[in-house]
Amino acid sequence: MLRNRTYLFGLGTGLIAAALVLQLVFEAEKVSFRDTDEPETPIGIEQVQEAAAKLGYEVYKRDEPVYTSDEVEQRVQDALKKESAEKKQSYAFSIGPGTDVSSIAHMLVEMGLVGDWRLFVDEIEKRSLADSVQARYYIFEEKPDMKSLIAELTSPR
């Protein structure tokens, strides 16, 4: 029996080592493969947002547009440019020879250049410029104030 002693010792050690390896494999399978019969607990959007907020992040839906501050600033500038381009209105009209001041005043009120035709007529008469209005074609790129309108209408080219 002493001759087989080394053989039996090796056989016993091998069986023990094989049992340990097999036990490790079984434990690893338990960890890596979860049982699919257990229902998975869904995580709500509120829980995700709370967890992200704790870490200093924000969560957005995939189809929700998100802009950087530079993009927002650019969009605001574009909108302001578009709005100012739409607001720009030029005023063009002509005054024929011999047109009286009250007819001119009514025409300017209809165009929106003057708010009250009587104020315009009173201002022209106060300055004694009723006969100084030039008969020609006028173009204003912006709405002028009363003084500059009268100055333009009465100044010769």
CATH of 91-154, one of 3.40.640.10, 3.40.50.1000, 3.30.300.130, 3.30.1490.480: 3.30.1490.480
Q: Please state the domain extents for the chain.
A: 1-36, 41-88, 91-154
User: Could you give the CA distance from residue 127 to residue 108 in angstroms, rounded to a whole number?
Assistant: 18
Q: pLDDT tens, 18-56?
A: 999 999 998 888 877 665 555 567 788 888 889 999 999
Residue with tokens 């104030």: 145
Going from the C-alpha of 91 to that of each of 29, 41, 119, 134, 142, the distances in angstroms are 84, 69, 20, 17, 7
* 74-99 pLDDT per residue, tens: 999 998 888 776 667 788 889 888 88
